[in-house]
Amino acid sequence: MRWYRVRALVVKEFLALLRDKASRMVLIGPPILQLLVFGYAATFNLVHVPIVIYNQDSGGASRALIARFQGARSFRVVRFLTTDRRLASILSDKEALAVIRIDSRFSQDLALHRSAHVAVWIDGRNSNTALLALNDINAITQSFNAHWAASHGWPHPKALVTMRAWFNPNLHSRWFIVPGIVGLLTLVVAMLVTGLSVAREREAGTFDQLLVTPLEPFEILLGKALPGFLIAGLEATAIILVAVPWFGVPLVGSLLALYLGLFLFLLAAIGVGLAISSACATQQQGLLGVFLFLVPSIILSGFATPIANMPKAVQYLTYLNPLRFFLVILRGVFLEGDGVSVLWNQYIPLALIGVACMAMATWLFRHRLS
């Protein structure tokens, strides 16, 4: 293999990408824009969720509880009700996510050291949001209970529960999402660069010219793969440099562990991209093939939903997905401080997938030549 020939092909690929205005915009603009959009919009934390208070009690305890809901960042009280006639329409029309009803004997029961009742009606059409809202409502109520007991001389409960969240003390969902975005956007960029490279040559009519050069098939594939490695690697670095200071996500692990995982992940992603591009005759076919791979790989990666919650057959299918292993590496390095020695069980599957994908790309390329 002659490296100067591969270098010439790599330069040609970069020039083809940089001279095309549309390609430049696709590679530079959307990843940064998607990082900002996902980083701010994709969150599991509730902020200013509309709720309605139906207070049947006029005592001080109910007012103190309502004040806690009004002061909570999670909720925004949009209406106070005096009757129950509009309860159903408020939820069905999505005027509020939840209605909190305070019983008419709430303050009296608390004064007599009896159980006081608070009822919650919640819109369950979005079950995830409903569960998050119920957790926040329960936390506010428990905080009110503890303060009321302490201020009125009630005996403290014999058993106290103290919670501590490891790796994410404040349970910021952004700390979970942003490292995943690094893997997601890196996969998109790598697939777009390599998934259209061979198909672009065929569509432009320059593929036959490439074949009559002294370049061997493996050198052509290597020349097509290296620009993807460099561009996707630089994109990943840029996203990390934006994510850490801008969103405040900690990066407490080893950079060596992170970039070793990135290299193996790119090996697999570029192998898939080259295989798709080698099998397609036009860029439109290549773009469709990239899309068909990206959607299930993101869904089956654990980016948004836990893999443990998936059916067993689907869980076994995720072992073929390189993004699954890279997300474990990213979150381990960012949040847990993992090093190379801890992540070897993620590197080995990634390396096997990468070698298999590159071998498949080479076979498809040679098969199309014949």
Predicted confidence (pLDDT) per residue in 253-286, tens digit: 999 999 999 999 999 999 999 888 888 878 788 8
Other C-beta atoms lying within 10 Å of the C-beta of residue 7 = 12
Average pLDDT over residues 229-240: 90
From residue 241, alpha-carbon distances to 184, 234, 339, 341 in Å are 16, 10, 20, 25
CA distances from 104 to 59, 78, 119, 134, 168 (A): 9, 21, 12, 22, 40
Identity of the amino acid at 191: M
What pLDDT is stored for residue 362 in this prediction? 85
pLDDT value, residue 125: 64
Residue 156 to residue 7: CA distance in whole angstroms: 74
What pLDDT does residue 323 have?
A: 95
Q: Where in the chain is the domain with CATH 3.40.1710.10?
A: 49-151
Q: How confident is the model at residue 312 (pLDDT cuts 50, 70, 90)?
A: confident
Second CATH level (architecture) for the domain 49-151: 3-Layer(aba) Sandwich (3.40)
Q: What is the pLDDT of residue 159?
A: 45
3-class secondary structure, 49: strand
DSSP string, 265-309: HHHHHHHHHHHHHHH-SSHHHHHHHHHHHHHHHHHTTTSSS-GGG
Is 153 buried (19+), middle (13-18) or exposed (0-12) by CB count in 10 A? exposed
Tell me what pLDDT residue 33 has.
67
- Find where tokens 């994709």 sit: 42
Tokens 């995982």 -> residue: 261
Residue 42 scores a pLDDT above 60: no
pLDDT in tens, 214-223: 777 777 788 8
Residues whose CB is less than 8 angstroms from the CB of residue 288 and which lie 6 or more positions away in sequence, other chains included: none
CA pair distance 153, 310, nearest whole angstrom: 49
- Give the bridge partners for 79, in sequence order: 52
Instruction: Give the CA dihedral 300, 331, 132, 75, nearest 10 degrees.
Output: -130
Q: How confident is the model at residue 68 (pLDDT cuts 50, 70, 90)?
A: very high
β-pairing verdict for 49-55 and 75-81: parallel
**pLDDT (tens digit, 9 = 90+) per residue, 137-190?**
888 888 888 888 888 777 655 444 455 666 777 777 788 888 988 999 899 889
User: What gap in Å lies between CA 243 and CA 250, rounded to an integer?
Assistant: 9
Polymer length in residues for the chain: 370
The pLDDT tens digits of the residues spanning 313-370 come to: 888 999 999 999 999 999 999 988 889 999 999 999 999 999 999 899 888 877 766 5
Residue 310 has pLDDT above 50, yes or no: yes
Expressed in angstroms, the distance from the first to the final Cα of the chain is 21
Q: What percent of the chain has pLDDT over 90?
A: 25
Q: Which residue has the higher pLDDT, 268 or 303?
A: 268
